[in-house]
Amino acid sequence: MRKKLLAASALVLVAGLACAGWIYSRAGDEPDLSGAYQIIVVDGVPQAIAPNESKAYMRDLQRYGGRMAVLFDDIGRWWNGLWHGRSLALTVAFISVIVSLALYFGALAVE
């Protein structure tokens, strides 16, 4: 059982890091314009302004929902940002390392 868990740990680590590397190399640097509050074109390049960068949006959000609404809005945007582009590659790498370590320490605990 110990050898199987150690092999699974190594397999998860190698596969996860390989997938993360592939995602990182394929991810573009284009800005995501889907959740933009406003889009401004500067020198022919569209640049998105996120809602949390707009004072009017933040003021309205705090007025209607209070400070907790602003906090939850920031947390939600951070969470959604983990699953796009190069952030996704780092998230996959982190999760694969954590799962691999869990399998490794599980193998050490098995007699």
pTM for the model stands at 0.74
| Residue 104 pLDDT class (50, 70, 90 cuts) | very high
Q: How high is the pLDDT of residue 93?
A: 97
pLDDT in tens, 34-86: 667 777 788 888 877 878 788 888 999 999 999 999 999 999 988 988 888 88
Q: How high is the pLDDT of residue 81?
A: 83
Question: Which DSSP string do the residues of the chain spell out, in sequence order?
Answer: -HHHHHHHHHHHHHHHHHHHHHHHHH-------TT-SEEEEETTEEEEE-GGG-HHHHHHHHHHHHHHHHHHHHHHHHHHHTTSHHHHHHHHHHHHHHHHHHHHHHHHH--
